[in-house]
Structure 1
C-alpha cells in the first residue's frame, strides 16, 4: 500500500510529516486529512480568526488532497470570558 504524508498548519505552527501513514485509497487519505484538520480546529482559539490547513502528499511529494478551514469566532457585548 502507498504511504501518504500529512502536513498541517494551525495558524501558529506548521508541522511537516516525515513519517507518513500507509493507506489503501484516496478516500482514506481524505478521511485522515479531515480528522487531522478537525483535531486542529478543536484546539484553535475560540476568539479571533485563523486558517487551518492539511496537505496530503504522496511518496513522490505530489499533493493528493488539500483541506483548509477559515475559522473565526467573536464574542458578543454580553460575553464574560473572565
Structure 2
C-alpha cells in the first residue's frame, strides 16, 4: 500500500509529516486530508480566531505533491453590532 504524507502550514508554523499514512490510493489520501482539514476547522472555531488560513500538501512516497487543500476561517462582526453577545 502506498504511503502519503500530510504537511500543514497555518501561517505561523509549518508542520512536516515525516511518518505518513499507508492508504489505498490518492482518493483515500484526499478523503483523509479533507477529514483532517475539517477537524482543524473545528479547532479554529472553538478558538474564535479573527482569521486563520491553513494549507495542506499531500505528498506521495517519492516526495511529489499530489494534492493541495486550503482552508480559510474568518470571523467578522458587522458594523453597528455589539461584540458582546
Question: Do both proteins adopt the same fold according to a TM-score greater than 0.5, normalized to the shorter chain?
Answer: yes
Equivalent residue, structure 2, for 1:9: 9
| CA RMSD in angstroms, aligned pairs only | 1.6
Q: Does 1:21 align with 2:21?
A: yes
Once residues 65 and 47 of structure 1 are traced to their aligned partners in structure 2, the CA distance between those partners, rounded to angstroms, is 26
For residues 15-44 of structure 1, give each alpha carbon's deviation from its aligned partner in whole angstroms, at most 9, with x where no partner exists. 110000000011111111111111111112
Higher helix content, 1 or 2? 2
Once residues 14 and 79 of structure 1 are traced to their aligned partners in structure 2, the CA distance between those partners, rounded to angstroms, is 32
Give structure 1 regions of 4+ aligned residues with deviation exceeding 4 angstroms: none
Q: TM-score, normalised by structure 2?
A: 0.82
Runs of 5+ in structure 2 lacking a partner? none
| Count of equivalent residues | 81
For residues 37-78 of structure 1, give each alpha carbon's deviation from its aligned partner in whole angstroms, at most 9, with x where no partner exists. 111111124241221111100011100111001221113422
Once residues 12 and 38 of structure 1 are traced to their aligned partners in structure 2, the CA distance between those partners, rounded to angstroms, is 19
Shift of 1:14: 1.9
